[in-house]
Chain A
């Protein structure tokens, strides 16, 4: 039996001892313990160092509101979670817990020196100090040297450095009633509402056991209620589940801890589960939190809330101490006193801040038990360092000041400032609150529009008389109030002095005071500190609490792991990856992939795996791309174009729609023919391009860029539904239905000829820019005679699920002819040699068709098309716009850098206006020199000029040329 375990009682299983370590020290507790109750059973109060001053701190509470006892739990293998509240950590065999924010150890902590300098670490310390005092070398030196050291010393636990090995799950759930809080009120509500079997009820509670305060007072009744609920199929019970965020329309986020983590047999199973619950009605039964009292040195280990002490004793069978002094403004502390006395502790005194309370019935009962009750008394100081050792009392004078009045030795001090309803979640939903003077607290008043939320039980202020106390603010202390440290916010180390200082410095709005002093920030979210802070500011500024306002409660109510938010979205499931039917083939054949949107595209092929790292770098890529380009120009290349967007546009008005959508004339397009088409936005700028193919009078096959596919489809849908709903035409995405193989090169016809059925491939019957439907290798196909390379070329569309065998066959044949596959990089080089633009690379959202030398594509007689009016804007027809040109460096071997700026003179000073920039640059295997595309002001009139590209170490002279570098007559297209 551990030192402070009571011989009997409580909910713990005394037959099941559990070993655990705290800061390396072996201890034991029992099944049913929390880490906090087990530590107290071992006589350990000191569990941490405070945030700013590194003051020794002990366990204050027994629940989610715990501000001090933040620990790191290490479950091995990188499974490390900082900042867990020891009051919420269930004890399990082998648990490893560590204290935080101390070096080298908890009992001796170097950071404790901050306490000595606390005069300089007060309100607004960060704002005042991090500006960088000049005496310490100015902002720069300060930022580099001192600030990091101070920031390191002030902090919570350390975030784990490695990846999180745990799994997290997500569930969306719907119910008629969500009850938050499984105390007496919540259990009763869940029981009542679930009587209707059609009413789905979800009940969640942060603790492992339902019952709340009933687990202290009437555990058998709690068990009965839970049993009754468990038997109902329409009830979902969520233990260990913290409702941490409440949002619009009754949407609540709940973090559920899944069982005892070390007991998990399979590390693949989730450790936590996020519930996203949509409820018909939210019933908030979150209870109330006991308020600490603000007196000098109220933060020593061994000073805790009276209700927490009673919980530890009656629920966990743990005595927090043997010699106990009590300071209270609320009758519930008497219950704790009596229970502790019955368990063998000595209650040295009950100091009553309420002067009139000495004559009350409950005080008389205390006196009858031999407990001295001292009305009109407060604590003006405590002694002890790592554990409280005594209290100095002070009599509260009628004028409100305090004068010293003796003291007691004590190993434990209990405090009770009354109970604050937990309205955080109600407030998160933007519900209106009202101030209740008699409780010293805000209560829920009106739900926000669209919210069906009801607050019941103690959270609604429905409390028995003994829980009601209006006391908030700081208690009086003799001498200068600026000399004492009476903590308001334990977690953020904010004292009454800090708050007074802030108001004296002119901060009057509570939101400003909060940010200036950090009170109620971080994980505390004002659970224990809010109302005392308000009380102090009210007293200091002579205003009422409602006049000061209330800070916004923000989600999460308690901290939530990042893993829970990420859920499954990590690794392979971080984002969907789209692969073409030929992907695995490409991978087997040495493809190096690049990401284009969600797609993986073969960038280039390394036929033999590189033997050393150097060979896999830029040189190997260059060599591969050059070889792929040569194959296309000299024999035949095979390119996977499946990622292109494909839209089938069908209906009697199909031609009319496309005529209005694209710049090109479409109605005049003959069945069986294709057209290169440009798509603008209404501003007149190019946003996409592709091929329009007419399969029948009322049926078109339209392609888009890979990355523009979804955008173009959505834009067309917009025009079809909202702009031209009178048109009888529909579009269907067929991107995923068709796999596309581009066969390009002088031998292209040779490798497909005998596979194609029903299509005459002769130039006369099937010319450039024609389309036919037929069969290839026995499967249906749409065959396009198109070329992005300038070579004789086809694009074969076949159903995606049938594509791979055909591709493999074509690859074999290409190899026989000295050809092979090529990737997107070679495709880019080949099209640049022909001066074909890539939308998004050579255009940047400010380019018109004419800028790109594509003015010919516009149907001049069309009355309207998307972007037509935009193209008439003065800026778009003004002379001097940037135009697409070719560039060749005077040193022809040079490959320019994409994005490089272009200026007129070789010695242009910095700041010279740039004429334009390089948009594409490659080494052309076919030409044997570097080529580039660029946009240059008035570029077409500059052909023949020499311009300059200033780089970091040199200036490169370039000659402006026509953007078509190869075969300007287009003879190669015909094979």
Chain B
């Protein structure tokens, strides 16, 4: 069982207290009459499935109840960083391939 750091509680808490909630940083386009079918379809259905670091939404559902974002490595399952919903993805959590080689983990 993984430990996940809740950025609201400020604690590492057991994985079973959390619920995964899909990809992070997806903006709901609007208003409806100004959104193209393609844009809406992308919002509804198109998601990246990268090997490596991915930004996800999680909810501390059996804890403080808050949604937050997490960058997780899909290869190692390591949570690189967690941060509150609405905050930008921390630059240090960028995918390793975009970092200079000497700083790659």
Contacts and interface: CB of A to CB of B under 8 A. Distances in A.
A–B direct touch, CB within 8 Å, in complex?
Answer: yes
Interface of A: 247-249, 251, 276, 278, 430, 448-450, 682-683, 714, 717-718, 721-723, 725, 863-864, 868-870, 872-874
Given A249-B2, A249-B3, A448-B76, A874 B31 contact: no
Given A869-B40, A873-B40, A718 B21 contact: yes
Q: Which among B32, B37, B41, B67 has the highest number of chain A CB atoms within 10 Å?
A: B32
B1 A450 contact: no
A276 B1 contact: yes
B66 to A, nearest CB: 7
A721 B76 contact: no
Q: Is the interface of B mostly helix, strand, loop or mixed?
A: loop
Contact of B77 (A248, A863, A870): A248
Nearest to A249: B3
15 contacts: A448-B76, A449-B78, A450-B78, A683-B44, A718-B59, A721-B66, A721-B85, A722-B86, A863-B31, A864-B30, A868-B32, A869-B32, A870-B44, A872-B33, A874-B37
Given A449-B105, A717-B67, A682 B43 contact: yes
A725 B65 contact: no
Nearest 4 pairs between A and B by C-beta? A869-B32, A868-B32, A722-B85, A721-B67
Nearest to A865: B32
Given A721-B85, A870-B44, A874-B37, A864 B67 contact: no
Contacts of A276: 1
B94 interface: no
B82 to A, nearest CB: 14
A870 B37 contact: no
Given A714-B61, A870-B44, 18 more contacts: A248-B2, A450-B76, A682-B28, A682-B43, A717-B67, A718-B21, A721-B85, A722-B57, A725-B85, A725-B86, A863-B32, A864-B30, A868-B32, A869-B29, A869-B40, A872-B33, A873-B41, A874-B37
B35 interface: yes
B32 A864 contact: yes
A872 B1 CA distance: 43
A869 B30 contact: yes
A683 B57 CA distance: 20
Contacts of B32: 863-864, 868-869, 872
B86 A717 contact: no
Interface string B64-99: 011100000000111000000110000000000000
A873 B37 contact: yes
Interface of B: 1-3, 19, 21, 28-33, 35, 37, 40-41, 43-44, 57, 59, 61, 65-67, 76-78, 85-86, 105
Given A723-B28, A873-B37, A449 B76 contact: yes
A725 B43 CA distance: 20
Contacts of B41: 873
Contacts of A278: 3
A864 B40 CA distance: 14
Contacts of A449: 76, 78, 105
Contacts of B65: 717
Nearest to A251: B1
Contacts of A868: 32
A275 to B, nearest CB: 13
Nearest to A710: B61
A251 B14 CA distance: 11
A215 to B, nearest CB: 34
B59 to A, nearest CB: 8
A872 B21 CA distance: 26
A356 B58 CA distance: 64
A863 B57 CA distance: 27
A718 B65 CA distance: 10
A663 to B, nearest CB: 13
Nearest to A448: B76
A515 to B, nearest CB: 23
Nearest to A250: B3
A722 B19 CA distance: 15
A874 B29 CA distance: 18
A378 B30 CA distance: 81
A176 to B, nearest CB: 15
Nearest to A278: B3
B76 A722 contact: no
B77 to A, nearest CB: 6
A456 B72 CA distance: 31
